[in-house]
Amino acid sequence: MSQVLSPQEDRVLNKKVDRKGRERIYKILERNQFTIPHVDVERAKYFTESMRTTEGELLTLRWAKALKNVAEKITVWITPDQLLAGRVGKLGRYGILYPEIDGDFYREVLGNLAHRDKSPFQVDPDDLKVVMEDIAPYWEGKTYHEHLNKTLPLELRNVTYCDERGLKSKFVVSETSSYRSALQWVPDYKKVLERGFIDIQNEAKERLAALDLTNSTDLWDKKPFYDAMIIVCDAIMIWARRHADLARDMAAKESDPKRKAELLQIAETCERVPSYPARTFREAVQCQWFVQMFSRIEQKASAIISNGRMDQYLYPYYKKDIEEGRITREEARELLECMWVDMAQFIDLYINPTGVEFQEGYAHWEAVTIGGQTPEGEDATNDLSYLFLESKREFPLNYPDLAARIHSRTPERFLYEVALTIKDGSGFPKLINDEEVVFLNSIKGCPVNEALDYAVSGCTETRMPNRDTYTSGCVYVNFATALEMTLYNGRMLHYGDELVGLETGDPCNFKTYEEFYDAYKKQHINLLQKAFQQQVVVDRLRPQHFAAPLSSVLHNLCMENALDLHTEKIPGGVDYSYFEFLGYGTIVDSLAAIKKLVFEDKKLTMKEVVDACRADFKGFEPVREMLRQAPSYGNDDPYADSIARDVDRICQLEAIKSSKERGIHVDVRYVPITSHVPFGKVVSATPNGRHAWTALSDGSSASHGADVNGPTAVLLSNYHSKNYDLINRASRLLNIKLSPKSVAGDAGTKKVMDLIRTWCDLKLWHLQFNIVNRETLVKAQKEPDNYRNLLVRIAGYSAYFCDISRELQNDIIDRTEHENV
């Protein structure tokens, strides 16, 4: 049979690049796209320089002063051919440092950064010296990570870290708050576009003037807060103005009249925004880019910073410019693509080795949200939504990540173009379902109009930019270890004799499945309780270490209450906390196999299963075969799916208890990013036939190769494993891999549309596709140089296949490819 290639495969294999109309973009891109990223230390340097001098002041104020120091001193760049200004590092792919999070790792990690096998970085020797002699020493003893490690009581630290300094994750109950300053975030870009920072600053000034300084709260808490707001507005405006000055200088020296004009236009734009309201599409794009880049200087949000509902807040400017003949569609697209190529050069640098494991492939995903509904509930699709899709199809770069909001009345054309873009094969866009998201976000407390206006943020999360107030990095719980601990009386083969969980007895003495399940449940709940306790520590410590004046000045509730966004409780806000479930399919299939084979059919004894797992099935191959034949999740099999629902239910019931206790809302989520690979490395063989130390199932997807009944069954299993009477649930990441052949032609596009419509009917949170031939991936593994630009879908983002580790590559190859379409 002849192989059908996806458009992406065709481009990569046959080295086709259509540069027509994109000469500028390709020039910028190809100058530095595939170089090893380097570390730029300026942000850390000037941030630290200021922080040294402000100890004792309100943290938000210190942060604002530090940002102003950075804004005044960091090198400003206007790079060749670019139409936008606002990068925060040297040419090429680069990452910046946030020593306030994990500066205590620098001594161990930084010198070796160029040689690590996952996501390496190069560090200039002079810069390294600055870090080692200047930056790191200040932060030693002061970082968030050290504080957390010191604060966690022993029984929590024992499931969190392997070592005393907390440098090595245990991958059982993993905290993620020490490799990022905050969860993913979306600032209210619309506010800046419409008002500009002078007006926003005036609001802060008015609020400051209205304070009663004889009142101690006003004097000691609110005044410095508003001082900080005023300073941070100055900071971003100073930084923008420096770009205008540079552009004028460069224009004066430029001999090429065309470039000279461009530079003058850049100067004019940077003089206008973000200080004043944007008037044109060009100003709006530049303004957004300044805000987004400055927020990167402010903090390391997870997945960096999302772009929000770009097709909504940019549309008025686009429409007006097009109508008044100020810009063509192609020029608008070029401006956006100028943003994409600069975005692609900024890399989310993880120093913490655990952070690297969690998001491989230089992952960062500044999700651009398109489609969906207006705050009034009308369909929101417009011409810009199509322009984003078109840009992605014709210029498939890994950034930005594209997220399409789908609802029950999504227009056919939008769905068609979404399907067409998905079929290209580079994994864009991911789909987020309004029918689940709006319902859940509003029933948990967000006003409906704001819930309807949510932006996709980070991987599969959502944000209501003026309502959301929860920003702590949340805990990842490896429940596959709970299963393992049920087999070995609270122990794990990887950690030897150490009692990691509870002693629930020798499973060989269990008489019924209920007894086994009960033991599992105890282990599961034990881990979960530890996770919640750990999260409480995180929630309390973070405000002592992190502040976000820029994010706060753009947040209505922060401004009204004079509270930093990272404050534990902000009146009027919604706090949607969560924990991440690792190993769902692995656990469900293991429980189903034990229930069926040991307790119902009695084809195996518990001892045989335990012995086989202990031996990693060596000498027990027939046992493994039998285990693998048992009912499994992902096949629309009620036997397995009802177990999946029960397991989800344990989580939600515990989450309800924790929510009440903490006065916030806690959800179970199934979004591993890439961590199901490292989490699998500590889990020995499991009773679903999975070999020791291999990847766990990812997200809410089936175990590798277990889903043999096609994608409809995968979607239905996901549907039937949810508990609809409970609302302590959020995102479920779901991957479907299809062969390009199965969706070829117009008929194939229609099938993808039908699948998406039905997925929407089923109210599943998220869906993403990999449409690629297995052979292509195998070849790319062997000849990486020929496949440098092959993009694959990982987990809520796409990355270059050759940028990820071999283990993760294998994980993607092993995802079941559905052929039958």
Partner 1 sequence: MYDEDAKGIIFNIQKFSVHDGEGIRTLVFLKGCPLRCAWCSNPESQSGKPEHAFNPARCLTAQTCGRCLKACEHGALTLVNDMIMFDIRKCVQCFACAKACPGEAQKIYGETKSVREILDLVERDQVFYARSGGGMTLSGGEALFQHEFTHALLRAAQKRHIDTAMETSAYAPYSHLAEACKHLNKLIMDIKCLDSAKHKAMTGVDNAQILENFARVCQDFPDLPILVRTPVIPGFNDTEDDIRAIRNIIPLKATIEYELLPYHRMGQPKYGYLCRRYPMEGKELDKEKMKKLREIAFGLPMDIPGQNKA
Near partner 1 in 472-531, by CB under 8 A: none
Structural contact between residues 742 and 668, judged by C-beta atoms closer than 8 angstroms: no
Is residue 600 at the binding interface for partner 1, with CB under 8 A as the rule?
Answer: no
**Residue 799 and residue 793: Cα distance in Å, rounded?**
7
Question: Which position among 621, 660, 661, 778 is part of the footprint of partner 1 (CB under 8 A)?
Answer: 621
Is residue 300 at the binding interface for partner 1, with CB under 8 A as the rule?
Answer: no
Q: Checking DSSP bridges between strand 576-582 and strand 173-174, what pairing results, if any?
A: unpaired
Query: Residue 587 Cβ, how far from partner 1 at the closest point, in Å?
Result: 22
Is residue 243 at the binding interface for partner 1, with CB under 8 A as the rule?
Answer: no
Choices 148-156, 331-339, 442-450, 707-715 (CB under 8 A): range interacting with partner 1:
707-715
Residue (39 or 760) nearer to partner 1, CB: 760
Question: Could you tell me how many residues of this chain bind partner 1 (CB under 8 A)?
Answer: 29
User: Among 819, 808, 590, which Cα is nearest to 703's?
Assistant: 590
Is residue 191 at the binding interface for partner 1, with CB under 8 A as the rule?
Answer: no
Query: Residue 748 Cβ, how far from partner 1 at the closest point, in Å?
Result: 8
Site string for partner 1, 651-690 (x = CB under 8 A): ----------------------------------------
Q: Which two tokens stand for residue 194?
A: 């419409």
Give me the residue label for tokens 């990540």: 401
Is residue 556 at the binding interface for partner 1, with CB under 8 A as the rule?
Answer: no
Alpha-carbon torsion angle 73, 75, 76, 78, nearest 10:
170
Query: Residue 753 Cβ, how far from partner 1 at the closest point, in Å?
Result: 9
Is residue 419 at the binding interface for partner 1, with CB under 8 A as the rule?
Answer: no
Residue (291 or 606) nearer to partner 1, CB: 606
Residue (126 or 746) nearer to partner 1, CB: 746
Q: Which two tokens stand for residue 111?
A: 């010198």
Is residue 605 at the binding interface for partner 1, with CB under 8 A as the rule?
Answer: no
Near partner 1 in 742-761, by CB under 8 A: 742, 747, 750-751, 754-755, 757-758, 761
Is residue 3 at the binding interface for partner 1, with CB under 8 A as the rule?
Answer: no
Near partner 1 in 790-819, by CB under 8 A: 818
Q: Which of 338, 446, 459, 474 is catalytic?
A: 459
Query: Residue 437 Cβ, how far from partner 1 at the closest point, in Å?
Result: 19
Query: Residue 762 Cβ, how far from partner 1 at the closest point, in Å?
Result: 7
Is residue 511 exposed (0-12), middle (13-18) or buried (19+ Cβ within 10 Å)? exposed
Query: Residue 742 Cβ, how far from partner 1 at the closest point, in Å?
Result: 8
- CA-based R_g, the chain, Å: 26
Give residues with Cβ within 8 angstroms of 258, minimum separation 6.
none
Query: Residue 754 Cβ, how far from partner 1 at the closest point, in Å?
Result: 4
DSSP E strands in 159-226: the ranges are 173-174
Query: Residue 751 Cβ, how far from partner 1 at the closest point, in Å?
Result: 5
Residue 461 annotated to the active site: yes
Residue (409 or 540) nearer to partner 1, CB: 409
**Residue 502 and residue 482: Cα distance in Å, rounded?**
9
Residue (462 or 709) nearer to partner 1, CB: 709
**Residue 308 and residue 372: Cα distance in Å, rounded?**
12
Structural contact between residues 421 and 449, judged by C-beta atoms closer than 8 angstroms: no
Within 10 angstroms of residue 413's Cβ, the number of other Cβ atoms is: 11
Residue (445 or 745) nearer to partner 1, CB: 745
Query: Residue 111 Cβ, how far from partner 1 at the closest point, in Å?
Result: 48
Question: Which position among 710, 765, 767, 792 is part of the footprint of partner 1 (CB under 8 A)?
Answer: 710
User: Among 147, 166, 175, 179, which Cα is nearest to 533's?
Assistant: 175
Structural contact between residues 424 and 9, judged by C-beta atoms closer than 8 angstroms: no
Near partner 1 in 758-777, by CB under 8 A: 758, 761-762
Give Cα separations from 679 to 359, 479, 696 (angstroms): 12, 10, 7
**Residue 684 and residue 676: Cα distance in Å, rounded?**
14
Q: Which two tokens stand for residue 184?
A: 């993913």
Is residue 626 at the binding interface for partner 1, with CB under 8 A as the rule?
Answer: yes
Total number of residues shown for the chain:
821
> How would you label 259-290 residue by residue, b for 16+ Cβ within 10 Å and e otherwise?
eeebbbebbebbbbbbbbbbebbbbbbbbbbb
Is residue 622 at the binding interface for partner 1, with CB under 8 A as the rule?
Answer: yes
Q: Does residue 774 sit in helix, strand or coil? A: helix
Is residue 206 at the binding interface for partner 1, with CB under 8 A as the rule?
Answer: no
Residue (600 or 761) nearer to partner 1, CB: 761
How many alpha carbons lie under 13 Å from residue 675 in its C-beta half-sphere? 30
Q: Which of 9, 450, 461, 608 is catalytic?
A: 461
Residue (327 or 752) nearer to partner 1, CB: 752
Residue (341 or 821) nearer to partner 1, CB: 821
Is residue 445 at the binding interface for partner 1, with CB under 8 A as the rule?
Answer: no
Is residue 628 at the binding interface for partner 1, with CB under 8 A as the rule?
Answer: yes
Query: Residue 769 Cβ, how far from partner 1 at the closest point, in Å?
Result: 14
Amino acid identity, position 804: I
Is residue 625 at the binding interface for partner 1, with CB under 8 A as the rule?
Answer: yes
* DSSP-assigned letters across all residues of 603-632: -S-HHHHHHHHHTTTTT-HHHHHHHHHS--
Query: Residue 716 Cβ, how far from partner 1 at the closest point, in Å?
Result: 6
DSSP E strands in 303-375: the ranges are 368-371
Site string for partner 1, 354-373 (x = CB under 8 A): --------------------
Angle at 651 between CA 496 and CA 591, to 5 degrees: 60
Question: Which position among 636, 648, 803, 817 is part of the footprint of partner 1 (CB under 8 A)?
Answer: 636
Choices 72-80, 133-141, 235-243, 621-629 (CB under 8 A): range interacting with partner 1:
621-629
DSSP H or E stretch at residue 93: none
Structural contact between residues 313 and 189, judged by C-beta atoms closer than 8 angstroms: yes
Structural contact between residues 243 and 78, judged by C-beta atoms closer than 8 angstroms: yes
Residue (751 or 766) nearer to partner 1, CB: 751
Is residue 709 at the binding interface for partner 1, with CB under 8 A as the rule?
Answer: yes
Choices 213-221, 286-294, 320-328, 616-624 (CB under 8 A): range interacting with partner 1:
616-624
DSSP H or E stretch at residue 683: none
Query: Residue 782 Cβ, how far from partner 1 at the closest point, in Å?
Result: 23
Residue (32 or 758) nearer to partner 1, CB: 758
**Residue 241 and residue 593: Cα distance in Å, rounded?**
65
**Residue 272 and residue 274: Cα distance in Å, rounded?**
6
Question: Which position among 623, 644, 792, 799 is part of the footprint of partner 1 (CB under 8 A)?
Answer: 623
Query: Residue 695 Cβ, how far from partner 1 at the closest point, in Å?
Result: 22
Amino acid identity, position 513: Y
**Residue 115 and residue 326: Cα distance in Å, rounded?**
49
Residue (396 or 634) nearer to partner 1, CB: 634
Near partner 1 in 712-731, by CB under 8 A: 712-713, 716
Phi then psi for 346, rounded to 5 degrees?
A: -90, 120
Is residue 415 at the binding interface for partner 1, with CB under 8 A as the rule?
Answer: no
Structural contact between residues 351 and 97, judged by C-beta atoms closer than 8 angstroms: yes
Structural contact between residues 87 and 293, judged by C-beta atoms closer than 8 angstroms: yes
Question: Which position among 112, 328, 374, 629 is part of the footprint of partner 1 (CB under 8 A)?
Answer: 629
**Residue 399 and residue 404: Cα distance in Å, rounded?**
15
Residue (38 or 741) nearer to partner 1, CB: 741
Residues serving a catalytic function are 459, 461
Positions that interact with partner 1 (CB under 8 A): 1-2, 621-623, 625-626, 628-629, 636, 709-713, 716, 742, 747, 750-751, 754-755, 757-758, 761-762, 818, 820-821
